């Protein structure tokens, strides 16, 4: 039995999320079906994260255990051939130690949320970014964001359906950067709550619009109450961008 590490890129629009679902296609199921077609083995593909419906990934680490003798190069190429035309790509494939785990060995995950701040509609990035037509003050968003960095109870920014045992998380980094009409919100932590990054992005947008002040964001965090959430951003602009081990 060999454990293979996969680096996966995908467009989340056609999927119900990473994790296998009974009510629609998932990235996990699509890759597992490809592995079965290649090896005849029913294998579970474990990912570093569990992205929601419509959320994308630039480099999602995953692993799969396969008994059939096969080289990493052949496995990666074969999966890419079998998943077509689904928008999934195996960017890298390598053999790893049996105790390496895509999820539990991970020490930091990185997400980015992309906002396109312009009046005109999205011709090329529909479903891949959140268009906000009103002017956003990225500097105000960056300043307000720093109140969320560190160890906090993020109940306000947690989905009501979140299954995590605790709402307490340590946010290592939260930065807002503008380049032209594009605003990127970069977040890093060991782990995130369900909808945490989208909820933060939505509330930072309220700050950028002038509807909230930095104090309002800090008060929402302190309230530890989901009803105090100002706005949950759509999944379109969210990307899993990488992980550290």
Whether 87 and 115 map to the same domain: the answer is no
Whether 54 and 175 map to the same domain: the answer is no
Report the domain count for the chain. Answer: 2
Residue 143 lies in domain: 108-244
Tell me what pLDDT residue 21 has: 87
| Side-chain half-sphere exposure of 156, counting CA atoms within 13 A | 21
Q: Which of 31, 66, 96 is the last residue of a domain?
A: 96
Whether 55 and 143 map to the same domain: the answer is no
Is 14 part of any domain?
A: yes
Is 101 part of any domain?
A: no
Whether 38 and 133 map to the same domain: the answer is no
Q: Which residues of the chain are modeled with pLDDT < 70?
A: none
Q: Give me the CATH number covering residue 121.
A: 3.30.70.660
Whether 72 and 155 map to the same domain: the answer is no
Is 9 part of any domain?
A: yes
31, 76 contact by CB (below 8 A): no
Whether 118 and 228 map to the same domain: the answer is yes
Q: How far is the C-alpha of 141 from the C-alpha of 137, rounded, in Å?
A: 6
Is 103 part of any domain?
A: no
Task: Write the pLDDT tens digit of every residue in 43-67.
Answer: 999 999 999 999 999 999 999 999 9
Whether 124 and 92 map to the same domain: the answer is no
Paired tokens of 174:
């939260």
Is 234 part of any domain?
A: yes
Q: What is the CA radius of gyration of the chain?
A: 19
Q: How far is the C-alpha of 92 from the C-alpha of 8, rounded, in Å?
A: 8
Whether 125 and 168 map to the same domain: the answer is yes
66, 1 contact by CB (below 8 A): yes
Is 194 part of any domain?
A: yes
Q: Give me the CATH number covering residue 38.
A: 3.30.70.580
Whether 82 and 116 map to the same domain: the answer is no
Whether 120 and 225 map to the same domain: the answer is yes
Whether 124 and 240 map to the same domain: the answer is yes
Catalytic residue set: 52
Tell me what pLDDT residue 160 has: 85
Q: Which of 67, 96, 125 is the last residue of a domain?
A: 96
Q: How far is the C-alpha of 194 from the C-alpha of 219, rounded, in Å?
A: 21
> How far does CA 20 lie from the centroid of its chain?
16
Whether 90 and 25 map to the same domain: the answer is yes
């Amino acid at each position: 039995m060999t454990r293979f590490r996969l680096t996966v890129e995908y467009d989340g629009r056609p999927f119900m999320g990473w994790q296998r679902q009974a009510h629609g296609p998932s990235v996990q199921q699509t890759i597992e079906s490809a592995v079965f077609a290649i090896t005849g083995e029913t294998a579970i593909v474990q990912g570093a994260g569990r992205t929601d419906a419509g959320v994308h990934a630039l480099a999602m680490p995953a692993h799969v255990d396969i008994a059939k003798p096969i080289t990493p190069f052949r496995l990666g190429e074969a999966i890419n051939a079998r998943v077509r035309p689904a928008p999934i790509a195996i960017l890298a494939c390598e053999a790893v130690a049996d105790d390496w785990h895509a999820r539990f060995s991970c020490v930091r995950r990185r997400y980015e949320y992309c906002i396109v701040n312009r009046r005109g509609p999205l011709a090329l990035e529909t479903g891949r970014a959140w268009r906000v037509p009103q002017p956003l003050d990225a500097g105000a968003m960056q300043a307000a964001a720093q109140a969320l960095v560190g160890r906090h109870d993020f109940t306000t920014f947690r989905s009501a359906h979140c299954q995590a045992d605790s709402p307490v998380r340590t946010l290592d980094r939260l930065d807002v950067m503008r380049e032209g009409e594009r605003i990127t919100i970069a977040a890093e932590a060991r782990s995130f709550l369900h909808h945490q990054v989208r909820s933060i992005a939505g509330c930072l947008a309220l700050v950028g619009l002038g509807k909230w002040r930095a104090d309002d964001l800090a008060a929402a965090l302190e309230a530890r109450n989901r009803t105090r959430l100002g706005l949950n951003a759509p999944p379109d602009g969210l990307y899993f961008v990488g992980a550290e081990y």
